[in-house]
Amino acid sequence: MSNKTKATITDIIGRIQYRLALAGGWIDQPFVSKHNPSCPGSMVVVAVEPQFRFMDRAGICGSTRSIALDLWSDDLPDEDPEKLVRKLYEIENKDKAEPSGSQDMIGIIYPGINRLDYDYEYEGGYFPRHIESNNDPQIAAWLESVLHIIPVSTRPDGYNPLGRQNLLPEWVARLGRSGKDCFDAIVNRDIDALGKSMNECMKCWHTLLPDIVEHPTLKVDLVSLLEFYQANYAGAMYSGCGGGYLYVVSEQKVPGAFQVKIKTAGK
């Protein structure tokens, strides 16, 4: 065991930000957005400081971040973020049958709180037509104060969320609206609207892709756990398919939860 002491945690895990995906996730996938009758559909990604190591296979795009760390030697180049996103997207998804959505790359490259607007008619839905960014420190501080994160479980081996697909246009439209509502709620610092948007997103996930929360390989009762937190707090949603972390919106402390520091531009 080495006796050398690292100066900071980022000496071990790297300085590139992590990404939280809030309401609207999966609208970045063309096989979903092509069914949207009211494009664009939106989702929200939030950049967070690397204060500790998040779990792998938990909806935090750890694999994308690892590729970025290997590619750029621990820190992002000072280049056009859109070009960095496309380069990382190409590298990660080369020869993939089920490509990762571009929200993963955007989330670890763009600072702040970002609304990504996806339209299947724009570049086939692979990249957002528009990115609305907010780097207001006061808004970031508010979101930090009301967003509580509970570790639940990592995705198990053999798990695939894409088995059952009910891609109903009405529900795809609702999914895309949940992302817009989520961003508006954050900017307006409206905790009730934020919780409502996250609850709505989970309803959409459960309807469109039921295996996100119900699958033979999942050992945790994700539905019952989610329902408890949604009933007792302003809102809740999972970090990704198969569980990962549970995001709970509350002005009060949530037992067992931790909070994060949002990375804004210039920090």
Spatial neighbors of 174 by CB under 8 A, at least 6 apart, are: 200, 203, 204
- Provide the terminal-to-terminal Cα distance of the chain, rounded to the nearest Å: 34
Domain boundaries, the chain: 10-249
Could you tell me the pTM of the whole model?
0.95
Which of helix, strand or coil describes residue 154? coil
How far is 199 from 209, CA to CA, in rounded Å?
15
The sign of the torsion formed by the CA atoms of 145, 150, 156, 162 equals negative
* Structure token digits, residue 15: 């300085």
pLDDT of residue 64: 95
Q: Which CATH architecture has domain 10-249?
A: 2-Layer Sandwich (3.30)
| Residues of the chain scoring pLDDT < 50 | none
**Model confidence pLDDT, tens digit, residues 110-165:** 999 999 999 999 999 999 999 999 999 999 999 999 999 999 999 999 999 999 99
